[in-house]
Amino acid sequence: MKDLLKKFEDKKPEIVFEWSDPETEAEGWAVINSLRNGAAGGGTRMRVGLDKREVESLAKTMEIKFTVSGPQIGGAKSGINFDPNDPRKEEVLKRWYKAVYPLLKNYYGTGGDLNVDEIHEVIPITEGFGLWHPQEGVVNGHYDPPKPQKIHMIGRLRQGVSKILEDQNYVPTSDKKYTVSDMITGFGVAESVRHFYQLWGGDITTKRAIIQGWGNVGATAALYLAKYGVKIAGIIDRNGGIIDTTGLDLDAIKKLFYDRRGNELVADELIPFDQCNDQIWSTGAEIFIPAAASRLVSRQQAEQLIANGLEVVACGANVPFKDEAIFYGPIAEYVDGHAALITDFISNCGMARTFAYLMDPKNDRKITDDEIFTDISQTIEKALVKVHQENPEKTGLGEAAFKIALSQLI
């Protein structure tokens, strides 16, 4: 596996598009690892300190992810080094998407990612430049359908991604309306944990979880895990956290979910970040969901989690461990050797799979909440069944998953 991984990591990306904003200090990169089968896909993220290497590694992650989610295309990613809280953000995004418009029209499909919202930013801005949908490049480059079929495929993408959830099995009861894109990635992360215990054994209702990050992925994963009976023993966010050794139940998690201020954890009992960061890793939990930014989880934090009962890690964030290696560095390998590591390209493939499901020209099924969410669950289950067949042990899942995926790419 490591030989395959090194060969994949060392291969230069096919296209690297570099951009400097003429009006601010923002800089950006669109990295297309390959135009496998005519197209590539990957979302757009924004954060201070982002660099080209991060975007390149995420583009390679996307290529592996498509072996699970489909369609069978190349991986790509867009990244902008800029403060997402800056009031000039919208104008920066407009100039960025105008610059990459030719790629998005012909062979690159994008979407939301860290600090960039699919529904409120990516879709309206790209449509403003004449793009039918942010995934139009994949439709054109990979499928190349006749115009009537293209209209049908784009119509399904427009309807499905922005669909307001109605089925109470998938949406929290609230006055606020939630879309498929709001909930689907976190749902997939939670489903990966549920399927893990079904395949490898264990009663999920007796488990506790620690959640890192309270954005769409972390908060939503916690919500579904709580619905499955998991108690949430701790949450750590950038502004602070909550530790409850008895475990927060579904009602408590629902309140924290509703009370979010954007992607920020809001609670009366919030512990300052430094204090929470000192305590949470040794609190004790069987499940860990890293769902904040990439490359945050240190070796020391991983060791503390493992020493206090960790059984499974389901990656909500891409490449969550603080390794220099693109994918599978020493920290990831350490975790994989001591717990069940469900890799990001399986656990957080929900949005990529949603795009693939909706744009499939052979798919004429009615677009419903249950159809979309069931398809995501089945896709993740199918991937984990393959991992279980390759490795039925409760460690080494990450290595097995990479071996399965890379054998399809190299």
pLDDT tens, position by position, 126-183:
999 999 999 999 999 999 999 999 999 999 999 999 999 999 889 877 678 899 999 9
pLDDT digits (tens, 9 = 90+) for 376-400: 999 999 999 999 999 999 999 999 9
Are 392 and 203 in contact, with CB atoms under 8 Å apart?
no
- Percent of the chain whose predicted confidence (pLDDT) is above 90: 88
| Region 43-53 average pLDDT | 95
Going from N- to C-terminal start, the domains of the chain cover: 9-144, 180-408
| Region 261-273 average pLDDT | 92
**Beta-carbon count within 10 A of 172 CB:** 18
What is the structure's pLDDT at 1? 84
Closest alpha carbon to 345 in 380, 396, 393, 382? 380
Which fold does the domain 9-144 belong to in CATH? Answer: Rossmann fold (3.40.50)
The tokens describing 139, both together, are 């439709």
CATH 3.40.50.720 fits 180-408, yes or no: yes
pLDDT digits (tens, 9 = 90+) for 360-376: 988 888 899 999 999 99
Closest alpha carbon to 114 in 225, 218, 253, 191? 218
Q: Do domains 9-144 and 180-408 have the same CATH topology?
A: yes
- Provide the pairing of β-strand 287-290 with 208-212: parallel
Q: Is the pLDDT score of 75 beyond 80?
A: yes
- Which band of pLDDT confidence, cut at 50, 70 and 90, is reported for residue 46? very high
Q: Which amino acid is at 332?
A: A
The tokens describing 234, both together, are 């701790």
Give the C-alpha distances (Å, rounded to integers) separating 375 from 181, 354, 355, 382.
14, 8, 11, 10
Closest alpha carbon to 337 in 308, 290, 302, 304? 302
Q: Is the pLDDT score of 202 beyond 80?
A: yes
Are 190 and 224 in contact, with CB atoms under 8 Å apart?
yes
